[in-house]
């Protein structure tokens, strides 16, 4: 006898001899389950992410130590801040010339093959500077030794290149990674000078330079050892140079203006604190600015920004321009270092979101296979801007007043805003 054809209903499957429940519809009431991991937890769950990040943070910390350590060491031994400033300025100029070349080699031959010998050369330059200062060598040897440190690889750029390789086009996760990297930059530049000043003051004047050299070499070796996360080298790529890519000249100009903000703010804040009789407190005030940026960067990375990065950048720069008026108002109206410190903290909250968005555009507009070179060009623009901002802020402080000096970073931010507005419609199809 043939079996009857089963009849199906939304709740049951019915046959001649059995009744089987298959669906009882949606369950009423809240479902309890494990909370989904946050964006940073998902990011560092990637294989090898924690290992290369740890090494990179160790290698990046000395970037905030070497300048302060060199000034303290040279000025203490030779009694000349002018000589110390000239030596560090020479190293900065050499870095601006050398860094893009090192980055191009990194893209072409791989991070480990280039970063390790370049770091060894930079460490030897730091040790040579230490010995020249300690044993009273002629002044020209200080310039030669510190110039050798310009081969220090851009560890932040190499870390961002690894994230781009691991995430493989995941724009949301890459936004979180870029935010973390910017927060790490702020943390290193906040802790580096404090650590350098502590070591030089507590032990001996050369302690900061020596510790920075050891940390740099150790961190790069640990970072380079993580070969599983290293982007593959591109020995021959037909891609054009990053600075020739559409939109990149404008991005580098924004970096130059942003660097002027940072350079002027540092010099003017030191001068303002000195005028108040609290020069040593300038580091605390600038540290609060970096802390505000670090906190804002981590928060920004946990959010999900909408729209293309090219459309978000003017809003970020506009917020930064507005917030930078707070230190100017605090210095002009109150004259209190405490009030100024609070204003710097608030002003710093716009820095990381702006830098993250700008770096996202740099990544988008750099051809594949030359990413590290493109990001290093952005850092070079920042360094050039820092030098210009320091000079402009110093001139304004000396010829007008420290309060008027806070107009320099506001002006530089306004220039960055103007540039970003003119480029707002460039590459509208690319989204962050």
Residue pLDDT, tens place only, 35-62: 667 888 888 999 999 999 999 999 999 9
Kindly state whether residue 104 falls inside one of the protein's structural domains. yes
Average pLDDT score over residue span 306-333: 90
Average pLDDT score over residue span 293-308: 83
388 pLDDT band, cuts 50/70/90, is confident
Kindly state whether residue 8 falls inside one of the protein's structural domains. no
319's tokens? 């917020």
Residues 76, 195 within the same domain: yes
Q: Which of 232-241, 283-292, 363-372 has the highest mean pLDDT?
A: 283-292
Average pLDDT score over residue span 116-124: 96
Q: At a CB cut-off of 8 Å and minimum separation 6, what does 111 contact?
A: 158, 161, 162, 223, 224, 230, 231, 372
Are residues 429 and 311 in contact, defined by beta-carbon separation less than 8 angstroms?
Answer: no
The total of structural domains in the chain comes to: 2
Q: What share of the chain is helix, strand, coil (3-state, %, to 5)?
A: 75, 0, 25
Residue 321: per-residue pLDDT? 95
Residue 236: per-residue pLDDT? 66
Residues 294, 387 within the same domain: yes
pTM of the model: 0.75
Kindly state whether residue 12 falls inside one of the protein's structural domains. no
Q: How far apart are CA 393 and CA 401, in angstroms?
A: 10
Residue 145: per-residue pLDDT? 94
Identify which of 334, 357, 356 has the alpha carbon closest to the alpha carbon of residue 406: 334
Kindly state whether residue 40 falls inside one of the protein's structural domains. no
CATH no. for residue 120? 1.20.1250.20
Question: Is a pLDDT exceeding 80 seen at residue 397?
Answer: yes
Residue pLDDT, tens place only, 203-257: 888 998 999 999 999 999 999 999 999 988 877 665 566 666 777 888 888 989 9
Q: Which of 17-21, 87-91, 97-101, 239-243 has the highest mean pLDDT?
A: 97-101
Q: Which of residues 326 and 26 earns the better pLDDT score?
A: 326
Are residues 68 and 87 in contact, defined by beta-carbon separation less than 8 angstroms?
Answer: no
Residue pLDDT, tens place only, 71-96: 788 888 888 777 887 888 788 888 88
347 pLDDT band, cuts 50/70/90, is very high
Question: Is a pLDDT exceeding 50 seen at residue 428?
Answer: no
Residues 209, 248 within the same domain: no
Average pLDDT score over residue span 157-181: 87
Residues 266, 386 within the same domain: yes
Residues 95, 213 within the same domain: yes
Residue 107: per-residue pLDDT? 85
Kindly state whether residue 27 falls inside one of the protein's structural domains. no
Last residue of one domain, picked from the residues 236, 258, 279: 236
Residue 12: per-residue pLDDT? 40
Last residue of one domain, picked from the residues 175, 206, 236: 236
138's tokens? 């002629």
Residues 54, 187 within the same domain: yes
Residues 205, 247 within the same domain: no
Residues 119, 138 within the same domain: yes
Mean pLDDT estimate for the chain:
82
Residue pLDDT, tens place only, 169-179: 788 888 888 88
Helices (H) and strands (E) in the chain, counts: 18, 3
The strand ranges marked E within 51-106 are none
Residue 31: per-residue pLDDT? 54
Q: How far apart are CA 344 and CA 285, in angstroms?
A: 7
Of the ranges 14-28, 192-206, 268-282, 417-431, which one carries the lowest mean pLDDT score?
Answer: 14-28
Q: Which of residues 363 and 406 earns the better pLDDT score?
A: 406
Residues 295, 381 within the same domain: yes
Residue 85: per-residue pLDDT? 75
Percent of the chain at pLDDT > 70 equals 87
Kindly state whether residue 20 falls inside one of the protein's structural domains. no
Residues 256, 184 within the same domain: no
Kindly state whether residue 42 falls inside one of the protein's structural domains. no
Question: Is a pLDDT exceeding 80 seen at residue 32?
Answer: no
Q: How far apart are CA 205 and CA 199, in angstroms?
A: 8
Sheet holding 7-8, edge to edge: 7-8, 12-14, 19-21
Residues 181, 263 within the same domain: no
Residues 256, 401 within the same domain: yes
DSSP 233-272: P-SS--PPPGGGSTTHHHHHHHHHHHHHHHHHHHHHHHHH
Domain range for 201 is 50-236
Kindly state whether residue 15 falls inside one of the protein's structural domains. no
Last residue of one domain, picked from the residues 236, 270, 303: 236
427 pLDDT band, cuts 50/70/90, is very low
Question: Is a pLDDT exceeding 60 seen at residue 159?
Answer: yes
285's tokens? 């005030």
């Amino acid at each position: 006898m043939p079996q009857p054809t089963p009849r199906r209903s939304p709740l049951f499957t019915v046959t001649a001899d059995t009744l089987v429940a298959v669906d009882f519809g949606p369950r009423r009431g809240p479902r309890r389950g494990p909370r989904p991991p946050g964006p940073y937890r998902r990011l560092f769950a990637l294989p090898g992410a924690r290992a290369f990040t740890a090494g990179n943070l160790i290698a990046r910390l000395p970037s905030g130590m070497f300048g302060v350590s060199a000034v303290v060491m040279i000025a203490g031994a030779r009694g000349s801040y002018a000589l110390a400033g000239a030596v560090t300025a020479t190293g900065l100029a050499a870095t601006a010339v050398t860094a893009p070349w090192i980055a191009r080699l990194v893209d072409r031959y791989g991070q480990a093959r280039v970063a390790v010998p370049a770091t060894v050369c930079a460490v030897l330059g730091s040790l040579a500077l230490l010995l020249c200062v300690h044993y009273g060598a002629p002044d020209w040897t200080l310039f030669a030794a510190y110039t050798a440190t310009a081969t220090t690889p851009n560890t932040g750029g190499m870390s961002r290149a690894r994230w781009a390789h691991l995430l493989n086009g995941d724009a949301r996760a890459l936004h979180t990674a870029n935010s973390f990297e910017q927060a790490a930059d702020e943390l290193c530049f906040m802790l580096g000078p404090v650590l350098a000043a502590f070591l030089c003051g507590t032990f001996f004047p050369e302690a900061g330079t020596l510790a920075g050299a050891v940390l740099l070499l150790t961190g790069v070796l640990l970072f380079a050892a993580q070969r599983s996360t290293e982007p593959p080298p591109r020995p021959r790529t037909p891609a054009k140079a990053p600075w020739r890519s559409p939109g990149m000249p404008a991005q580098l100009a924004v970096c130059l203006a942003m660097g002027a903000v940072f350079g002027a703010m540092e010099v003017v804040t030191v001068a303002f604190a000195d005028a108040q009789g609290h020069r040593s407190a300038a580091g605390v005030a600038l540290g609060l600015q970096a802390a505000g940026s670090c906190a804002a960067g981590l928060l920004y990375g946990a959010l999900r920004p909408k729209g293309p990065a090219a459309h978000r950048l003017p809003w970020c720069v506009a917020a930064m321009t507005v917030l930078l008026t707070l230190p100017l108002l605090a210095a002009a109206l109150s004259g209190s270092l405490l009030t100024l410190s609070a204003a710097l903290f608030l002003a710093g909250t716009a820095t990381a979101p702006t830098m993250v968005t700008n770096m996202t555009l740099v990544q988008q507009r750099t051809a594949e296979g030359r990413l590290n070179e493109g990001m290093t060009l952005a850092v070079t623009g920042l360094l050039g801007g820092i030098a210009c901002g320091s000079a402009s802020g110093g001139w304004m402080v000396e010829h007008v007043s420290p309060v008027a000096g806070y107009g320099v970073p506001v002006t530089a931010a306004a220039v960055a805003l103007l540039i970003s507005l003119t480029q707002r419609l460039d590459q509208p199809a690319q989204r962050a």
